[in-house]
């Protein structure tokens, strides 16, 4: 729990942008998750630095939150501080030639739209992927053989001591659906190196990729693909369907029949429901096929009664 003195200091930092006992179901695409002890929206790096150092001084767990697209928060919520990057400082995009500077709070959709307007190619394959730029770095979001990290030239990251530094792409530690630097700190902004192209062709590709994504993914609230594709090169969705889980249900959560690697909130689902399905799928894949499925979604928080 956060003591009253720390709460007072948080309010000094961010004022009315501090909310206590904030339900995280309001901030995740799956619409599940218990409350955070404190939810703070910071508007610039100074506020973020003060908050990070305050949390460190009080040994308070600290969770950066992007768009909440690939996140499952357990039903007991988060015992600590959840921080959201807001304000113009974190949601600004600047383009000079083929170089793009984007704040971590910029939505990936808005970033792609801006690159279209400037006739810049390189992000089309990611069209339709939800979340923010910071989340795209953290998850190394990808589709159609292209990963966001491949387009990153450098990024600014704040560590858990409140120190900021600029890291080149080679020092970021990008991997399949992960980024070491983002796991250890808070992504502040990224610098992308794209290439000039034909605007009409770029826009056409984006429209096509968005349509393809919409055609295969369910419309119900979800956290996107639940498992990473196995190292063997197989599709996790195809494997889960072959194991007979398409349409399987636990409480209000069910495995989508449109895309078996997606678990949706069919109404009133809890994190416990989702995690129960994930456990069943993981066990069956290991027992029947000898395949260890690794979660792609990030699971945080504490167990709780619902």
Active site residues: 177, 225, 296
Could you tell me where the DSSP H helices lie in 93-235?
Answer: 108-117, 133-139, 180-184, 199-216
Decide: 52 and 160 in contact? Cβ < 8 Å: yes
3-state SS assignment for residue 43: coil
In the numeric block, the tokens 């594709």 are attached to 229
In the numeric block, the tokens 């129960």 are attached to 276
Closest by CA to 64, choosing from 304, 297, 300, is: 300
Residues 225, 69: Cα–Cα separation, whole Å: 10
In this structure, what is the dihedral angle of CA atoms 170, 172, 176, 177, given to the nearest 10 degrees? -150
The token pair that represents 298 in the structure block: 């990030």
Residues 299, 226: Cα–Cα separation, whole Å: 10
For residue 236, count CB atoms less than 10 angstroms from its CB and return exposed for 0-12, middle for 13-18, buried for 19 or more: buried
3-state SS assignment for residue 49: helix
Burial call 82-117: b when 16+ CB within 10 Å, e when fewer: bbbbbbebbbebebeebebbbbbbbbbbebbebbbe
């Amino acid at each position: 729990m956060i003591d009253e003195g720390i709460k007072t200091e948080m309010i000094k930092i961010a004022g009315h942008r501090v909310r206590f006992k904030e339900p995280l179901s309001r901030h995740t695409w799956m619409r599940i998750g218990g409350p955070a002890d404190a939810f703070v929206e910071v508007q610039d790096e100074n506020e973020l630095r003060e908050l990070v150092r305050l949390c460190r001084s009080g040994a308070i767990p600290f969770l950066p939150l992007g768009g909440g697209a690939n996140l499952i928060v357990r039903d007991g919520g988060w015992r600590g501080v959840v921080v959201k990057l807001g304000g113009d400082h974190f949601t600004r995009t600047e383009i000079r030639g083929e170089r793009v500077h984007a704040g971590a709070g910029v939505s990936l959709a808005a970033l792609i739209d801006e690159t279209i307007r400037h006739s810049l190619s390189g992000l089309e394959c990611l069209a339709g992927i939800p979340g923010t730029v910071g989340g795209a770095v953290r998850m190394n979001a990808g589709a159609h053989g292209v990963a966001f990290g491949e387009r990153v030239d450098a990024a600014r990251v704040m560590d858990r001591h409140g120190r900021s530094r600029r890291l080149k792409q080679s020092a970021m530690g990008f991997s399949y659906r992960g980024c070491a630097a983002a796991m250890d700190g808070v992504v502040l902004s990224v610098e992308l190196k794209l290439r000039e192209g034909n605007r009409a062709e770029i826009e056409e590709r984006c429209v096509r990729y968005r349509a393809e994504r919409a055609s295969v993914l369910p419309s119900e609230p979800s956290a996107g693909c639940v498992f990473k594709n196995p190292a063997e090169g197989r599709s996790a969705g195809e494997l889960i369907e072959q194991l007979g889980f398409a349409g399987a249900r636990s409480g209000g959560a069910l495995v989508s029949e449109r895309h078996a690697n997606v678990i949706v909130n069919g109404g009133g689902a809890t994190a416990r429901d989702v995690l129960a399905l994930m456990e069943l799928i993981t066990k069956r894949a290991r027992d029947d096929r000898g395949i260890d499925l690794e979660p792609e979604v990030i699971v945080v928080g504490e167990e709780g009664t619902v």
